[in-house]
Amino acid sequence: MLKLHRHLSESMGGILPVALDLSKVKRVLDVECGAGGWVYDLAWRYPSLHVTGTDSRPELVKEAQALAERAGNATVFEQEIHSLSEQVVPLESFDMVHARCLVSRLSPQEYPSVLASLVRRCRSDGLFVWEEAEFPLTNSTACEQLYQLIQAAMQAAGRTFTPGHALGITAMMSKWLKEAGCQVTLDDAYAIDLSAGMSGHSALLHQTYLMSKQLRPFLLEKGDTTGTELEALYARLRQEMAAAGFRGVAYVRTLVGMAQEGKDLMRS
């Protein structure tokens, strides 16, 4: 997970958009921080900041806490994103709140209320930095079949963002961020080359391995497949992705919102 985080950050030119002015940022919150890679990297690069991370998975919180201790200016707490404690992450107390790839944690119905809760953690004119990704586009038949299977299972579970084969989360971002009380001040998109021979290829292999383990129970419950069919699909997927002719690209969207209108924290 740390490798995936760092590759995504490198592909986007850094852990934060280069246009951000951090001169008024002192306290930062990173929600669903996973193993703590973003928390550690931000704390290490900006020692004057204090970075707080939260995650709902105890095994990842333990890893993230070890990284935070190494950084010295970071702390990580076990917190459920749907019910953040005001004692741990008080309202209007952070200069910047960061969220990355919440799609695996939230349903479409949960996004608006959760985003509103996160924005309320920002002080007036504070920044909300949010990144989401779509399913990669590839020339692998097995890869495309897997994404279609995932989308069909999500439709069966009522967790889809669009009626088509695309995930569709990025199309909803600006609407939800504005409804949560933010003025969108930056909207960037990144295309990450995942083809064989590119640096993103190994990250995609790791991501697919993790996804195959994490999604197996969900796909067996909601998808039109069996354990035997799923294992055969994963075997073909690994073979096609490892081929020299494999080509793929991932699309990531980053939004920066300002909580309420006021002093512009973006560089002109």
Question: Any idea where the domains of the chain sit in the sequence?
Answer: 2-259
Cβ 51 vs Cβ 94: under 8 Å:
no
Q: Is 247 exposed, middle or buried (0-12, 13-18, 19+ CB in 10 A)?
A: middle
Domain 2-259 is classified in which CATH homologous superfamily? Vaccinia Virus protein VP39 (3.40.50.150)
Specify the pLDDT at position 189: 92
Q: How far apart are CA 268 and CA 265, in angstroms?
A: 9
What pTM value is reported for the model? 0.90
Place of tokens 């076990």: 78
Report the DSSP beta bridge partners of residue 74.
Answer: 51
Please report, as a single letter, which amino acid is at residue 144.
E
Q: How far is CA 227 from CA 69, 198, 221, 232, 252, in A?
A: 41, 32, 10, 9, 31
The token pair at 29 is: 């919150």
Instruction: Give the three-state DSSP class for 165.
Output: coil
Specify the pLDDT at position 94: 98
Place of tokens 């931000």: 42
Specify the pLDDT at position 211: 78
Specify the pLDDT at position 4: 66
The token pair at 224 is: 């039109």
Mean pLDDT by runs of 10 across the 268 residues of the chain is 67 84 95 94 96 96 96 97 96 96 91 96 96 93 92 89 88 96 94 89 80 87 92 93 94 93 40
